[in-house]
Structure 1
Amino acid sequence: MRGGIFMAFDGLLMHQLAKEIKTNLPMTIHKIFQISDTEILLDGQSNERKLRLIISIHSQNNRINFTEENYSESKQENEFLILLEKHLRAGVIQSMEQVGVERIYCFQISARAVRFSLYIELLGKDANIILVDEANNIIGAMKESLCKASTRTLSPEAAYHLPFDYSGKQNPFRPTTIHQAESLVTQFHGFSPLLSREIQYRMQQGQSFGEIMDELNRSDKLYLSETEQGIQFHCIPLTHLGRKLSSYPIMEGVDIALYKMQTRQQTDSLLKLVRNELIKRARKLSKLEQAVLEVGHFEQYRTYADLLYTYYHLLPRNVASADLKDFMTGELLHIPLDTKLSAKQNAQKYYEKYRKGKMAHTKLKEQIMLCKMEKDYFFRLESRLELAEGIDVLEIRRELEKLGYFKAKKNQSTKKRQNRKPNIMTFQFYNDIKIFVGKNSIQNDYLTFHYAKKEDLWLHVKSYHGAHVVINTATPDEETLYYGALLAAYYSQIKGSGPVEVNYCQVKTLKKPKGAPMGLVLLGAHKTIYVRPKEEVIQKLLTENLVQKA
């Protein structure tokens, strides 16, 4: 079960980021981009090196770092961006300082003989970017409102004040007293609860506070751990989590951490929707099956009608019922009658009830079949989301956008998004043999029905949801067939189980049911191979044979 996902930007991490930012100053600002409602990008140069400084005041993912990622410029006009362009474009960031060990930077910028201060306050939901003049008066703020952390005013011409009083806590690099049982957040500047737990854990293992702070102060890396509670990271390894660690250069690491968090956020959002749809389909299926039971006796109405037509001349008028023998079983049937109608008219009435019942039964059966297909489709989506990474998640979202479950994102061209070809994971072998792996419904549908040739070999785990795998030949050798089956098993619901059955056949034998959800196929003649997913073999394939990652 996935938990909360959050950005662990605290004052001590920003202390380490500040060191690298300072080494690239002075920096000339060539252009200022608005990436989104909460992000700006300073495009500039330091000496001969081109630099891009991204600043995000997103409530969960606020951050600042040099980035090499490509970002699209937002088409939305923004008064604050116009203000920054007017005052700071072609200016030079001369210096920057961190306010104590807190989550606030102050950039000193000179532009056309005028000096400005640009305050970057990464305070969670109260994060902000504020431009201040030489007289310490606010020129503008990205969020022009009262900061919830204080009563200060952020409107133009008001004097700039720090968000809150920083006295009362110690500098963690110059401690006087340490209460090990008490949270370090309440004792020192710059601590997040996450870092406090890590240092308290290390101290319990015998490390001194000073040793840990020296390690942190020397660090130029970001250490990242993935847990059920989310993506967690800092500039020292978070050993108390007991999880596998990945380390990156600190600036690159911030980009990677954000990318992973956004992917997890999108995945969790999609999983929530998919699971809600599964609940809806289960409830709908139950109601439909109950309705089928209720109309399931419609065949009895035809029997009543047939008997009434046969024996109408023997039945008196104005009787409330008739007891007639069933032709097939010989049993005596008690048939209710409308006393206002003749026997023939009662027969016609039962025929009408039969026709309506049969029609309702047929429609209900169709709805049940459709509901089961939809339920199976969302089961497959759930399985794929559990395995999804990066582009897979985006393509699943695109798929749900097409089905009307999400609105397309504003900053992307709908036409370009619709025409974009899915990324297919591709493995290259000798003699130009390739294995293609589709990891979501869009990729599977494109790979099987648009990309693969009719003679190619198609593989899929038997009776479970998983990837469509295609080998670009009809007659692969035994080793290649094994690798294809292994990939089909690995990228499926049951990758961690014992021996897995994998069906395989030529693409030309597959059929796509009319009206079926994307990625669903019907097999014709096929064979089966048994494989046991092996992590070491998969990792070797990913290292030596992967030429395009989906």
Structure 2
Amino acid sequence: MSFDGLFTRAMTKELKNEVVNGRINKIHQPYKNEIIMVIRANGKNHKLLLSAHPSYSRVQLTKEDYENPPVPPMFCMLLRKHLEGYIIEDIRQSDLDRMIVFEVKGRNEIGDVSYKQLIIEVMGRHSNIILVDKERNMILDSIKHLSPSMNTHRTVLPGHEYVMPPQQDKRNPLEASDEDVLRALDFNSGRLDKQIVQSFSGVSPLFAKEVLHRAGLGKQTAIADSFLGLIGLVKENQLSPTLTIGEKEVFYWLELEHIEGEKLSFSSLSELLDRFFYQKAARDRVKQQGNDLERFIRNERDKNVNKIDKLKQTLEDAQQADRFQLLGELLTSNLYAVERGMKEISVVNYYDENGESITIPLNPQKSPSENAQRYFSRYQKAKNAIEIVNEQIEKAEEEIVYLEQLLQQLESASTKDVEEIREELEEEGYLRARKQTKKKKSNVKPVLESYTSSDGTQILVGKNNKQNDYLTSKAAGKDEIWLHTKDIPGSHVVIKSQDPSDQTIKEAANIAAYFSKARESSSVPVDFTPVKQVKKPKGAKPGFVIYEGQQTVYVTPDLDLVRSLKN
């Protein structure tokens, strides 16, 4: 639990320094559980993100862009009515709980001074954003509703009194002494890190493990010294926001020495959270939106895999065409010896130099001539099947490559990209076209992601096949440089330059590798060649091209580099 009470305290101070006395100018609700507030403070605009997402709940300033729905949700409309134009008078934390309260003041629709509280409870799946009329302590609305049947302690519904979440009877670590720490711990029973969490408010297992790690194997007083030393950093606001990249990514307000991995430092907690949550929440939303699409594509891919297995078995059978012809001819030569009802017959194979006998299986329900004709039919069918089956195997393999490419595109897609992939599958006949898709204008140009290399050169990226085709065939100049991972599903990338620097080529190749199936690999081969060397075969699937005259560069995908180049 990285966003614990101590992290919340530090974040509250950061927000106070940036946006207290600021004016709330705009409010958006881009997603179901997230609010964006644009606040004018200290001569500039700040974007404040409030998230009640069950997995990614947090409060922070953000520099990321979010897509807003065409029609704002009801909760967003209510916040606009009650908060736009209001001034943030104070930002405070409730004790050391994971709760941040925004105290706001403004004038209501009839011009009277009005005081409101916007309360954000950062509590995992119980997270919430609640707007309260401060003078009456009455809930105006919340992003999540809690009925009495759902929670017996408190009701979170419009018109009800706001009741704090249940309080835990724990010591305040900010007021603790050496004796308090030692009295709270029983060194003869139980894990000490769990005891620290159970005894002090606002601390997480992450913090407790760091305390014990820094205390080492010293005396009991070393644990108290370690605990109070770290608490002192919080009290004095001596923060070192750090992301540790090991088996998994972990963020905290200080550098965690007990977790091994690469350490990335940040100038603020908000910058740290932007980096940690970059695309994580978006991936979760895309997964929910495109879950049915991903399942459909995987099923189609698996069907083609099974189809190839069956076709290969058919091909093996077809290889026996000559044997079917032999059995038919031998049976025809020995029809006089065959009687209806026989299950097999042994005849001399006059094609064999040694004249050995061969046993021919028969269908007892058929006449001798029908049995012979059956072998000639199987011979003809097998002979014709070889060419057809090879074509079908090749087609199925192309389908698998295409579907694998779509799965890769879903992994890095935005919500808008998912809709374009869905439209593509409808156009290709995989899905039935929806009415709204039929009504869409065909001349709408795909929106490409834009990046700028370190020397100022523009780099464009296609995130799906519609964008890839548009980028390569229309948006790119014929002498500009085109890139794609070698034999690996991925995005088309174009450098808007005829003679880019080696550094720009490497940066563009890194982007191409990042938006490919090899994102988690190292030394990924990326081909690059002028756009005029890239051709789309007639009748090829969307996004499929062939190219020549390429050179290859090897790169290891770097998320931080890709983020730094994003426009």
1:17, 1:534 → 2: CA distance?
37
Q: 1:62 offset after TM fit, Å?
A: 1.1
CA 1:429–1:210: 2 relative to 1, 3 Å: closer
- 1:353 corresponds to: 378
1:189 aligns with 2:201: yes
- 1:261 corresponds to: 280
1:106, 1:352 → 2: CA distance?
83
Q: 2:87 aligns with which of 63, 84, 92?
A: 92
SS at match of 2:14: helix
Q: 1:9 offset after TM fit, Å?
A: 1.9
Is the deviation greater in 197-206 or in 135-144? 197-206
SS at match of 2:234: helix
1:294, 1:286 → 2: CA distance?
13
SS at match of 2:76: helix
1:483, 1:78 → 2: CA distance?
44
Contact 1:424 1:447 survives alignment (8 Å): no
Letter of the aligned partner of 1:420 in structure 2? P
CA 1:323–1:191: 2 relative to 1, 3 Å: same
2:164, 2:39 → 1: CA distance?
28
Letter of the aligned partner of 1:210 in structure 2? L
Letter of the aligned partner of 2:5 in structure 1? G
- The superposition leaves residues 83-107 of structure 1 with CA deviations (integer Å, 9 ceiling, x where unpaired) of 3333333333322321101111222
1:199, 1:213 → 2: CA distance?
10
2:20, 2:36 → 1: CA distance?
16
- 1:35 corresponds to: 30
- The superposition leaves residues 474-509 of structure 1 with CA deviations (integer Å, 9 ceiling, x where unpaired) of 9x99x9699779959994969757xx9998888777
- 1:225 corresponds to: 244
Equivalent residues, number:
520
SS at match of 1:369: helix
Q: 1:359 offset after TM fit, Å?
A: 5.7
1:301 aligns with 2:324: yes
Is the deviation greater in 512-521 or in 45-54? 512-521
- The superposition leaves residues 396-447 of structure 1 with CA deviations (integer Å, 9 ceiling, x where unpaired) of 9965884589999xxx9987998425447786999x9x99998997887667
Letter of the aligned partner of 1:137 in structure 2? M
Q: 1:161 offset after TM fit, Å?
A: 1.1
Letter of the aligned partner of 2:326 in structure 1? T
Q: 1:319 offset after TM fit, Å?
A: 7.5
Q: How does 1:140-155 map to 2 (within 5 A)?
A: 140-146=141-147, 151-155=153-157
CA 1:202–1:283: 2 relative to 1, 3 Å: farther
Q: How does 1:235-384 map to 2 (within 5 A)?
A: 235-246=253-264, 247-262=266-281, 285-293=308-316, 296-307=319-330, 311=333, 318=340, 320=342, 321=345, 323=347, 325=349, 327=351, 332-337=357-362, 344-358=369-383, 364-374=389-399
CA 1:406–1:198: 2 relative to 1, 3 Å: farther
Is the deviation greater in 28-37 or in 315-324? 315-324
Letter of the aligned partner of 2:347 in structure 1? D
Q: 1:127 offset after TM fit, Å?
A: 0.9
1:165 aligns with 2:167: yes
2:129, 2:246 → 1: CA distance?
31
Q: 1:364 offset after TM fit, Å?
A: 4.6
- 1:20 corresponds to: 14
Letter of the aligned partner of 1:175 in structure 2? A
- The superposition leaves residues 323-352 of structure 1 with CA deviations (integer Å, 9 ceiling, x where unpaired) of 363658776544345567665544433333
Contact 1:459 1:484 survives alignment (8 Å): no
CA 1:238–1:364: 2 relative to 1, 3 Å: farther
Q: How does 1:110-125 map to 2 (within 5 A)?
A: 110=105, 111-112=107-108, 113-125=113-125
Q: How does 1:15-94 map to 2 (within 5 A)?
A: 15-23=9-17, 24-46=19-41, 48-76=43-71, 78-94=73-89
SS at match of 2:50: strand
- 1:8 corresponds to: 2
SS at match of 1:335: strand
SS at match of 2:255: coil
CA 1:116–1:338: 2 relative to 1, 3 Å: closer
- The superposition leaves residues 241-288 of structure 1 with CA deviations (integer Å, 9 ceiling, x where unpaired) of 222222132233322322153367589999997999887766665454
- 1:129 corresponds to: 129
Q: 1:201 offset after TM fit, Å?
A: 2.0
CA 1:486–1:203: 2 relative to 1, 3 Å: same
CA 1:446–1:62: 2 relative to 1, 3 Å: same
Contact 2:193 2:208 survives alignment (8 Å): no
Contact 1:144 1:155 survives alignment (8 Å): yes
Is the deviation greater in 99-108 or in 391-400? 391-400
Contact 2:421 2:464 survives alignment (8 Å): no
Letter of the aligned partner of 1:115 in structure 2? Y
Letter of the aligned partner of 1:304 in structure 2? L
Letter of the aligned partner of 2:166 in structure 1? F
CA 1:252–1:288: 2 relative to 1, 3 Å: same
- 1:204 corresponds to: 216
Q: 1:224 offset after TM fit, Å?
A: 1.7
CA 1:480–1:376: 2 relative to 1, 3 Å: same
Contact 2:334 2:347 survives alignment (8 Å): no
- 2:232 corresponds to: 214
1:268, 1:40 → 2: CA distance?
20
Contact 1:458 1:504 survives alignment (8 Å): yes
Q: 1:376 offset after TM fit, Å?
A: 5.3
Contact 2:481 2:531 survives alignment (8 Å): yes
Q: TM-score, normalised by structure 2?
A: 0.70
Is the deviation greater in 286-295 or in 209-218? 286-295
SS at match of 2:258: helix
Is the deviation greater in 314-323 or in 7-16? 314-323
Contact 1:9 1:63 survives alignment (8 Å): yes
Q: 1:108 aligns with which of 103, 125, 133?
A: 103
Q: Percent identity?
A: 29
CA 1:196–1:156: 2 relative to 1, 3 Å: same
CA 1:22–1:337: 2 relative to 1, 3 Å: closer
2:462, 2:267 → 1: CA distance?
29
Contact 1:126 1:149 survives alignment (8 Å): no
Q: TM-score, normalised by structure 1?
A: 0.72
- 1:4 corresponds to: none
Contact 1:435 1:484 survives alignment (8 Å): no
SS at match of 2:2: coil
1:501, 1:107 → 2: CA distance?
50
- The superposition leaves residues 336-392 of structure 1 with CA deviations (integer Å, 9 ceiling, x where unpaired) of 45567665544433333334445666555444434444555677789999xx9x779
Is the deviation greater in 253-262 or in 198-207? 198-207
1:163, 1:450 → 2: CA distance?
57
SS at match of 1:74: coil
SS at match of 1:119: strand
Q: 1:470 offset after TM fit, Å?
A: 8.0
- 2:139 corresponds to: 138
CA 1:421–1:157: 2 relative to 1, 3 Å: closer
SS at match of 1:239: coil
